[in-house]
Amino acid sequence: MNLLPLMWAGLFRRRTRTVLTLFSIIVAFLLFGLLRSIANAFAGGIDVAGVDRLIVQPKYSVIDPLPISHLNVIRTVAGVASATHADWFGGFYQERRNFFPKYPVRPDEWFQAYPEYQIDPAQLRAFETTRTGVVAPAELAVRFGWSIGDKIPIEADIYPQRDGNRLWEFDLVGTYEGRASGLTPTEFLMNYDYFDEARQFGQGEVGWFVVRVEDPAKAAEVASAIDAQFANSSNETRTATEAEFQRQFANQIGDIGLMMGGILAAVFFTIVLLTGNTMAQAFRERIPELAVLKTLGFSDARVALLVLGEAVLLCVVGGALGLGIMALLANGVAQAIKDIVPEFELIWQTVAAGLLIAAVMGVLVGAVPATTARRLRIVDALRER
């Protein structure tokens, strides 16, 4: 135990070098956190909440509409617990760059399909009963400074109103949130009934269906059963789990994400290599000092442990600081790159893996000097000065 202060003193013997090395390690692990999170987002494996949800889309193109009458058929398919529908409204708030998805939905059914979204029951009732009512994710409301009761104008780019007016005015009647552990929801929700009645064209059509299955293990069978219902009709469907659709969407963005992940991986290993080289060099310069310790009666093992401990300490502290800084930056980064990497999030597994790698790196970097230190013969080492 009493080696720790000595390690600390050893590290700060050459303060400049230690601080510089530390910063390199911090940077390396900052990048590690960044690249792992990106890779995770592309693997699409973060959110397991949607395992019992299927998405029913048009078979040939995401922009083809589906008739709402499909819903009644879907509900009769064996294994389907409940089903609802949604649509893509498009449009924008104030400026085109203020992008967020806007879905016309059935309020009660939507929140049953997404039980992880939390909404105040009174606000949900207001949403159901107010024709022009909308609910927004709490985060979105904060971003644009909306409060309940506000009128929210949305400029449509796909669906003008019957009279050709492109400006829709909605009343904000509530806000909702995701579970603390899940992803933050982004969808601005409006009443399908009102939307369908007021839009200029497309009555009775929807964009896609959201289906909950009774048994997630049978999701694939239910999906094919749904598609079989509409096979060879003029509105064929393509059904898959929500996670699968997320993966497919990530694949569409695909190459860019892979490319960035690859570049970052190369970068991380370069920095680790450089840092290891620097640290190994630093130890070589301190060999005479270690001989002095041995002269003072430190055993071979203790000297070796001291050297190894210093390396591990430096790497782990650097790794922890780097990952810590990444954690502080994570939200900002997620906002900035959400168009390319839709589900960027720093998860604890990444942090744990990072710390483990930092420790392993410390052992690898320290192993050679530690062995040298253990075998060191005092006379030889002191003569080197």
Binding site for other proteins (CB under 8 A): 16-17, 20-21, 23-24, 27-28, 30-31, 34, 58-64, 90, 92, 96-97, 155-158, 160, 164, 166, 234-236, 238, 247-249, 251-256, 259-260, 263-264, 266-267, 270-271, 273-275, 277-278, 281-282, 285, 333, 336-337, 339-340
Burial class of residue 304, CB neighbours in 10 A (0-12, 13-18, 19+): buried
SS3 assignment, position 317:
helix
* CA gap 384, 379 in Å, rounded: 9
The distance of closest approach from Cβ of residue 220 to other proteins in the complex, given in angstroms and rounded to an integer, is 16
* Concatenated DSSP letters of 274-285: HHHHHHHHHHHH
* CA gap 343, 234 in Å, rounded: 35
The distance of closest approach from Cβ of residue 2 to other proteins in the complex, given in angstroms and rounded to an integer, is 27
Please count the other Cβ atoms lying within 10 Å of the Cβ belonging to residue 332.
9
To which H or E segment does residue 81 belong? Answer: strand 80-86
Only one residue has tokens 């483990």, namely: 356
For other proteins, which is the closer residue by CB, 131 or 338? 338
For other proteins, which is the closer residue by CB, 336 or 356? 336
Q: Six-digit token pair at 44? A: 């699409």
For other proteins, which is the closer residue by CB, 76 or 234? 234
The distance of closest approach from Cβ of residue 3 to other proteins in the complex, given in angstroms and rounded to an integer, is 25
SS3 assignment, position 132:
coil
The distance of closest approach from Cβ of residue 252 to other proteins in the complex, given in angstroms and rounded to an integer, is 4
To which H or E segment does residue 351 belong? Answer: helix 348-375
The distance of closest approach from Cβ of residue 239 to other proteins in the complex, given in angstroms and rounded to an integer, is 13
* CA gap 327, 345 in Å, rounded: 9
Residue pair 140/178 in contact by the 8 Å Cβ criterion: no
Q: By C-alpha distance, which of 15, 64, 79 is closest to 314? A: 15
For other proteins, which is the closer residue by CB, 296 or 339? 339
> Please, which residues bridge with residue 66 across strands?
206
The distance of closest approach from Cβ of residue 61 to other proteins in the complex, given in angstroms and rounded to an integer, is 5
* Concatenated DSSP letters of 69-101: THHHHHHHSTTEEEEEEE-----BSSSTT----
The distance of closest approach from Cβ of residue 327 to other proteins in the complex, given in angstroms and rounded to an integer, is 15
For other proteins, which is the closer residue by CB, 258 or 355? 258
The distance of closest approach from Cβ of residue 259 to other proteins in the complex, given in angstroms and rounded to an integer, is 6
SS3 assignment, position 267:
helix
The distance of closest approach from Cβ of residue 29 to other proteins in the complex, given in angstroms and rounded to an integer, is 10
Collect all residues with Cβ–Cβ distance below 8 Å to 54 and sequence separation of at least 6. Answer: 210, 211, 212, 213, 219, 222, 223, 226, 239, 240, 241, 242
